[in-house]
Structure 1
Amino acid sequence: MWPDFGGASIVNLMSDVVRARSGRADGSGLRDVDVAGWREARTVVLLVLDGVGMAQLDLLPEDAFLRRHCATALTSVFPSTTATAITTFMTAQPPAVHGLTGWHVRCTEPGLDGQVLAILPVTPRGGGRLSCSPDEALARVCRVPSVYQGLSGGARIVSPADIAFSPFNLRHGAGAQCVGYEGLDGLFETLDAALDEPVPPGYVHAYWPDFDHFAHMRGCASDSAREVLRAADSAIAAWVQRTAGRDVLLLVTADHGFIDAPADRLLEIENFPAIAACLEGPLSGERRAVFVHLKPGMASAFERALGDLEHACRPWPSADLLRDGRFGPGEPHPRLRERIGDYTLEMKSDWTLRDTLPNERAFRLVGVHGGTSEAEMMVPLAVVYA
């Protein structure tokens, strides 16, 4: 399943959100959602629940708040992962335009010299060092402005305290006030405080990461993941109840969904020496959507060696995915072609693929995302007027 940029993706959602706050959005809006009244709300709150895809709503009781108020299902972006999708929420642009193509991004900008960066913490793979500050690195890598400047009523970004003022958040939050919170209760106390101001902000982007953490570490259907999601659902319901009559439009969605990946379906690139010999540098992207950069003249050898992985992945020339619009519409980021490499390996079923550099710690993720399965790609949209 690929993103539906024709009216059912988080990109289309953001176009409607921006227009509801009198901002400029070039893309088409949502196809199957009535957004006519969105402009009338005093405050629009977009709450992003990291990792809570449509499949994860099955962890909730049938009468749960999110299940009762889910208006439609949307697709995420490709890769279906936080770094790529959160950048879409903060820029209202698809990955083709903003250019951040996963947790690991190969950066060929001057001074970065092809390093693969974990883009949210802005750290190089394999213990390497940046030749500049994280702020300077992001300034070179990220060319697309945030959505917040010029929105009517001003904007607020509500994030966990440990990332609220990170270089990534501050850069993509330009034009908004960033506020940190501690814990689930702190999230809704911070939202309450915003609404209690003499002039509440016109737009609030709020982010909650806890389900994603437990899903990665213990599995997306684990007891701990289920418990934390049910707590969030109850907290949202309680907040909406006490917010009644305050002219708030609450939109709840997610950046991606999840699947669990069995340990015996984790492939190590080092165990495929014929493939590894073709590579020019580390893998990038995600374990479920892998970008491969080849040494010059190694395309034929790589294609032959891929026979060892035919059971686990579908290889695509990355240029074909770009041509077919899999990264979205719009003028491509000037470095996009370099970032997605020569081939994209779309992992099948519940297979994952990784490499581990000499100075990296090998660790297993129980729950994963980034791929094109329905469970990873489909996210809910709950619409609630309070």
Structure 2
Amino acid sequence: MVPAPVVPSYDGHGLAGVLPSVLASLGVGTGPVELPPARRAVVVLVDGLGLELLRQRKGHAPYLRSLLAEARDLTAGFPSTTATSMGTFGTGLPPGAHGLTGYQVEIPGEGRLFNELSWEDGPNPERWQPEQTVLQRSASAGIATTMVAPGYFDGSGLTRAALRGAMFRGSEDLGGRVAAALAAVRSAPRALVYLYWGDLDRTGHVHGCESWQWGDELEHIDRELRRLGEQLPADCSLSVVADHGMVDIPLEARTDVAHDAELRDGVRLVGGEMRALQLYCEPGAAETVLATWQARLGEQGWIVSREEALTRGWFGPVHERVLPRIGEVIAAFHAPIGVVDSRVMRPVILGLIGQHGSMTSAEQSVPLLHLPAAGSD
């Protein structure tokens, strides 16, 4: 029996509601999650910190564990991958509106894939994602708005598309980012600081999210976030969130479309990633491709047409400009398997252990941990 997918929410129960709600707590606009008022706020996004993983490994994170009792269980969005989640987090909109619809997607009319994470040879970011970001709204309201991340994020395609509007402070280590966030939030009477940390996700990809290395990295994050929380001004809140969870997929549990003629037949491009594929089909071949993939993999995943995915609300309401970016057939898996295409996926990606993208609770469920402002500074 095929289990039901965790269909994402794109409101107060989803990642889209986080930044608008934090901004509303600062007195700007409204948000779907009611948070206590504050004058200043720091929002930390820990890449790959799924709620199920945090609960399973909470012994490594005493500080975050202290916030778990009041944690909100949010859905990341579909696909549960960083580029799409950053679009949802940064704009407060579903993927069907902001248009960052996957890890690798086709540029309509060009017949080629581009990677929305690296943005290598990608389209103009502001045209690809023209909607106003929450950070732009914050800065326009007179709030000192800062993004703290690795230096190469400054002016990158994904930053320009999903997170434009903030002043940028770069630092390569987490301790440096905590120091930069503290300096930024102390520099103005009204401030919003967004801090990104990606090494937990990287560790999970390379070693697996069940590895001791993942636990060690979580301990490191927990120590630094404790330091951040203890040194914030009294009128400053702290929110910790993630962009997706993760599952470990054995190397032997992967099928390569490049070496599977049946799965390859009628497929023009294989987009997405191994847990959430988007198949761009040859003209007139979509129904046959759908039937073939359902027959082969239907007991291990949710294999649907683009139209059915839209009806089910996987991407939220989809704008006309975004529709051609989504593959005609969607294949997301609940079983611990993956499907790859070695013709378009880099070898280093093919060898990663930890994976995400699908609609299992392990991949979809992310925490919103919130430490309210203590009072006036």
Do the structures match in fold with TM over 0.5?
Answer: yes
> Does the 8 Å contact 1:156/1:179 carry over to 2?
yes
Q: Alpha carbons of 1:6 and 1:187: their partners in 2 closer, same or farther (altered >3 Å)?
A: closer
Matched with 2:326 is: 340
Matched with 1:42 is: 39
Q: Alpha carbons of 1:271 and 1:159: their partners in 2 closer, same or farther (altered >3 Å)?
A: same
Select the residue among 234, 255, 259 that pairs with 1:267: 255
Shift of 1:184: 1.2
Matched with 1:82 is: 82
Equivalent pairs, count: 360
Select the residue among 175, 193, 207 that pairs with 1:204: 193
Q: Counterparts in 2 of 1:275-290, with a 5 A limit?
A: 275-280=263-268, 282-290=269-277
> Does the 8 Å contact 2:42/2:193 carry over to 1?
yes
Select the residue among 211, 214, 231 that pairs with 2:220: 231
Matched with 2:183 is: 193
The alignment partner of 2:86 has SS state of helix
> Does the 8 Å contact 2:106/2:114 carry over to 1?
yes
Q: Counterparts in 2 of 1:98-177, with a 5 A limit?
A: 98-108=98-108, 113-123=110-120, 130=121, 134=122, 137-151=124-138, 152=141, 153-177=143-167
Distance in 2, Cα, partners of 1:165 & 1:182: 16
The alignment partner of 2:203 has SS state of helix
Matched with 1:127 is: none
> Does the 8 Å contact 1:316/1:343 carry over to 2?
yes
The alignment partner of 1:148 has SS state of helix
Q: Counterparts in 2 of 1:19-98, with a 5 A limit?
A: 19-24=24-29, 29-30=32-33, 34-35=34-35, 37-38=36-37, 41-57=38-54, 58-61=56-59, 64-70=62-68, 71=70, 72-98=72-98
Q: Quick check: 366-375 or 282-291, which moved more? A: 282-291
The alignment partner of 1:237 has SS state of helix
Q: Alpha carbons of 1:158 and 1:327: their partners in 2 closer, same or farther (altered >3 Å)?
A: same
Shift of 1:361: 3.1
Whether 1:354 and 2:354 are equivalent positions in the alignment is: no
> Does the 8 Å contact 1:107/1:114 carry over to 2?
yes
The alignment partner of 1:61 has SS state of helix
Matched with 2:9 is: 4
Task: Return the letter of the residue paired with 1:202.
Answer: A
The alignment partner of 1:231 has SS state of helix
Q: Alpha carbons of 1:298 and 1:231: their partners in 2 closer, same or farther (altered >3 Å)?
A: same
> Does the 8 Å contact 2:103/2:115 carry over to 1?
yes
Structure 2: tracts of 5 or more residues without a match: 1-5
Instruction: Give the alignment's Cα RMSD to 1 decimal.
Output: 2.1
Task: Return the letter of the residue paired with 1:54.
Answer: L
Shift of 1:350: 1.1
> Does the 8 Å contact 1:319/1:337 carry over to 2?
no
Select the residue among 215, 232, 242 that pairs with 1:254: 242
Shift of 1:171: 4.1
> Does the 8 Å contact 2:82/2:117 carry over to 1?
no
Q: TM-score, normalised by structure 2?
A: 0.89
Shift of 1:182: 1.7
Task: Return the letter of the residue paired with 1:5.
Answer: Y
Q: TM-score, normalised by structure 1?
A: 0.87
Q: Quick check: 165-174 or 219-228, which moved more? A: 165-174
> Does the 8 Å contact 1:279/1:295 carry over to 2?
yes
Distance in 2, Cα, partners of 1:80 & 1:169: 18
Q: Quick check: 66-75 or 43-52, which moved more? A: 66-75
> Does the 8 Å contact 1:156/1:201 carry over to 2?
no
> Does the 8 Å contact 2:61/2:222 carry over to 1?
no
> Does the 8 Å contact 1:96/1:333 carry over to 2?
yes
The alignment partner of 1:178 has SS state of strand
- Identical counterparts, % of pairs: 27
Distance in 2, Cα, partners of 1:207 & 1:188: 10
Distance in 1, Cα, partners of 2:325 & 2:28: 30
Select the residue among 293, 306, 312 that pairs with 2:280: 293
